[in-house]
Amino acid sequence: MLMSVGSLAVMGLTLGSVLGVASRYLAVEADPIEAELQAMLPGSQCGQCGYVGCAQAAAALAKGEAAVTLCPPGGKATAEALAARLGVKVDLSKVSDKGPEIAEVTEEICIGCCRCMKVCPTDAIVGAAKQIHNVIREACTGCSSCVEVCPTEALGMMPIAVTLQHWTWPKPASAHH
């Protein structure tokens, strides 16, 4: 009885210390996934996530400080990609995915101050001083940085309307889970 208890205890101790030593000396550097995560983010440095830029947001994601749903312009698709890479499960149905939006200039109010042009991360706003500005739809990422700097509220976010080309069948509402 004592013999078996003793031998088991000795075995446990030995193996435990081997594991402890191994974890200390054979430690693997954490996988540098920051760069990978940064590649998944839009890279427009819009700052909507609360971090200075996409690199900082990626760092926070890698450390697990930020939620994968942090990127509004990226929307559901980016959140899914991040969750898959980080191996976390996330309930995306609760992500308030308003659908893609783009900025639009209300031409009557625009005073041509050029502020929005300067903050646009993708140079999607064209115009010149004292001229009405306009948004290039294809280049706008919907980061809404311009909306905040506009002194006259001429800029607003407009949802992109669903078109015949973009409409998709909904998933069948199955009675069976």
Interface contacts to other proteins, rule CB under 8 A = 42-45, 73-75, 77-78, 100, 120-124, 138-139, 141, 162-164, 166-172, 174-176
> What is d(CA 34, CA 146) in angstroms, rounded to the nearest whole number?
28
CA dihedral 109, 112, 118, 120 (to 10 degrees): 40
> What is d(CA 96, CA 108) in angstroms, rounded to the nearest whole number?
31
- Of 96, 93, 115, 97, which is closest to residue 105 (Cα–Cα)? 115
Residue 39 C-beta: closest distance to other proteins, Å: 8
Q: Are the C-beta atoms of residues 112 and 153 closer than 8 Å to each other?
A: no
Q: How many CA atoms lie within 13 A of 137 on its CB side?
A: 6
Residue 60 C-beta: closest distance to other proteins, Å: 19
Give the nearer residue to other proteins in terms of CB position, either 19 or 98.
98
Residue 117 C-beta: closest distance to other proteins, Å: 11
Listed in sequence order, the DSSP H helices in the chain are 2-25, 34-40, 54-63, 75-86, 115-119, 145-149
Q: Are the C-beta atoms of residues 143 and 73 closer than 8 Å to each other?
A: yes
Residue 48 C-beta: closest distance to other proteins, Å: 13
Residue 58 C-beta: closest distance to other proteins, Å: 13
Give the nearer residue to other proteins in terms of CB position, either 4 or 168.
168
Give the nearer residue to other proteins in terms of CB position, either 44 or 69.
44
Give the nearer residue to other proteins in terms of CB position, either 3 or 164.
164
Give the nearer residue to other proteins in terms of CB position, either 24 or 166.
166
